[in-house]
């Protein structure tokens, strides 16, 4: 029993978490979770029943061992599966509309899978981008959110287990996933379709917050970048423009780039760098700029090993200041 206890607590602890399909934080995942438990429960009951019958056939009294009569075969082999599977299918079909689009969403967010990060655009009611960010999505609780899913290169798959099932992001297509989060918290998502060398390091977060916090966050993200207020930060901004960072990355209010890489207007406030690859900090920013290929080999950003230490320090400080 002593040995069983840690196992049991591990089993129970494994049923909650920030990346868990059986710890629902939305109406959609609550339905998926319920259906899963029904399937696990039913499968366990049927497995135990079959094992009991098998044990009876093997160990039961000699006279009663013959179970192979017509009634059992027709009942257990045909009738029982037809009735159970039809009931299950009806239940699943009846609940399926819970997972589809219903009603007008309160918020539209476009998420584009890229090798290997997530481009996130918040859209207005006409479908125009209000602002762009990357890898960290914030949505209000108890509002219906539509995620418009696209891909820029290969097939990726958008998956936040606490909020919904998986949906592939296919080049040339746009698919919509509707989610109504019911619980605040930070939930982890992960690309669920092999998309190249850094598929495993293609993570993101969806943070569910209350309405007021969302309005505050949205207004802050819409704003242009903070203006550098010290000689070090001013030097950092100049390095950002002269070293070539600005040809792929946009810092709104400073430059317009080809937007090949993530928008860095508020990069200082992100939790991680490289789509969940490393925790964000001043040192991590400097390390990423100097040699992102060592931290996430195969990502599309070249290493900037040629930067002078003073310049590297300044540009990292500048980016860290962009909250």
How far apart CA 137 and CA 129 sit, in angstroms, is: 14
- Contacts (CB under 6 A) with ligand CUA, residues 113-172: 113, 116, 156
Q: What contacts 24+ positions apart, CB below 8 Å, involve 169-175? A: 169/111, 169/112, 169/113, 169/193, 174/148, 174/149, 174/150, 175/148, 175/149
Task: Considering the complex, state which of residue 109 and residue 225 has its C-beta at the smaller distance from ligand CUA.
Answer: 109
How far apart CA 79 and CA 132 sit, in angstroms, is: 56
- Asked whether position 296 contacts ligand CUA by CB under 6 A, the answer is no
Placement of tokens 């993200």 in the chain: 221
**Neighbouring residues of 102: CB distance < 8 A, sequence distance ≥ 6:** 144, 178
- Asked whether position 195 contacts ligand CUA by CB under 6 A, the answer is yes
Least separation in angstroms between residue 212's CB and ligand CUA is 33
Q: Are 290 and 312 in contact (CB under 8 A)?
A: yes
Residues 136, 193, 263, 311: which binds ligand CUA (CB under 6 A)?
A: 193
How far apart CA 149 and CA 177 sit, in angstroms, is: 8
CA atoms within 13 A on the CB side of 151: 18
Task: Considering the complex, state which of residue 202 and residue 320 has its C-beta at the smaller distance from ligand CUA.
Answer: 202
Task: Considering the complex, state which of residue 151 and residue 265 has its C-beta at the smaller distance from ligand CUA.
Answer: 151
Residues 191, 225, 289, 315: which binds ligand CUA (CB under 6 A)?
A: 191
- Asked whether position 202 contacts ligand CUA by CB under 6 A, the answer is yes
Least separation in angstroms between residue 195's CB and ligand CUA is 3
Residues 119, 121, 150, 199: which binds ligand CUA (CB under 6 A)?
A: 199
Q: Considering only the stretches 42-50, 122-130, 191-199, 213-221, report the one whose residues sit in contact with ligand CUA under the rule CB under 6 A.
A: 191-199
Task: Considering the complex, state which of residue 180 and residue 201 has its C-beta at the smaller distance from ligand CUA.
Answer: 201
Q: Are 235 and 313 in contact (CB under 8 A)?
A: no
How far apart CA 189 and CA 163 sit, in angstroms, is: 9
- Asked whether position 252 contacts ligand CUA by CB under 6 A, the answer is no
Residues 40, 47, 56, 194: which binds ligand CUA (CB under 6 A)?
A: 194
Residue numbers of the site for ligand CUA (CB under 6 A)?
113, 116, 156, 191, 193-195, 199, 202
């Amino acid at each position: 029993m002593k040995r069983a206890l840690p196992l049991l607590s591990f089993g129970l602890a494994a049923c909650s978490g920030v990346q868990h399909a059986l710890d629902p934080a939305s109406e959609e995942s609550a339905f998926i979770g319920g259906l899963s438990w029904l399937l696990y429960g039913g499968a366990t009951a049927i497995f135990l029943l079959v094992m009991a019958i098998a044990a009876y056939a093997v160990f039961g009294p000699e006279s009663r061992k013959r179970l192979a009569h017509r009634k059992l075969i027709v009942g257990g082999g045909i009738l029982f599966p037809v009735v159970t599977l039809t009931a299950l299918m009806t239940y699943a079909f009846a609940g399926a509309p819970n997972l589809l689009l219903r009603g007008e969403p309160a918020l539209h967010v476009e998420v584009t899978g890229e090798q290997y990060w997530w481009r996130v655009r918040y859209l207005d009611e006409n479908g125009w981008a209000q602002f762009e960010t990357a890898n960290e999505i914030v949505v209000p609780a108890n509002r219906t959110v539509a995620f418009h899913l696209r891909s820029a290169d290969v097939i990726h798959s958008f998956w936040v287990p606490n909020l919904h099932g998986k949906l592939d992001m296919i080049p040339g297509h746009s698919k919509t996933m509707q989610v109504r989060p019911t619980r605040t918290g930070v939930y982890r998502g992960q690309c669920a379709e092999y998309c190249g060398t850094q598929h495993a390091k293609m993570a993101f977060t969806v943070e569910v917050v209350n309405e007021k916090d969302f309005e505050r966050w949205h207004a802050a993200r819409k704003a242009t970048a903070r203006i550098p207020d010290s000689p070090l930060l001013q030097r950092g901004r100049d390095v950002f423009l002269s070293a070539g960072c600005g040809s792929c990355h946009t810092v709104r209010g400073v430059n317009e780039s080809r937007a090949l890489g993530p928008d860095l207007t508020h990069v200082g406030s992100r939790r991680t760098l490289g789509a969940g690859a490393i925790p964000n900090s001043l040192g991590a920013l400097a390390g990423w700029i100097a040699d992102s290929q060592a931290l996430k080999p195969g990502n599309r950003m070249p290493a900037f090993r040629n930067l002078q230490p003073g310049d590297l320090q300044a540009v990292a400080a500048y980016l860290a200041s962009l909250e």
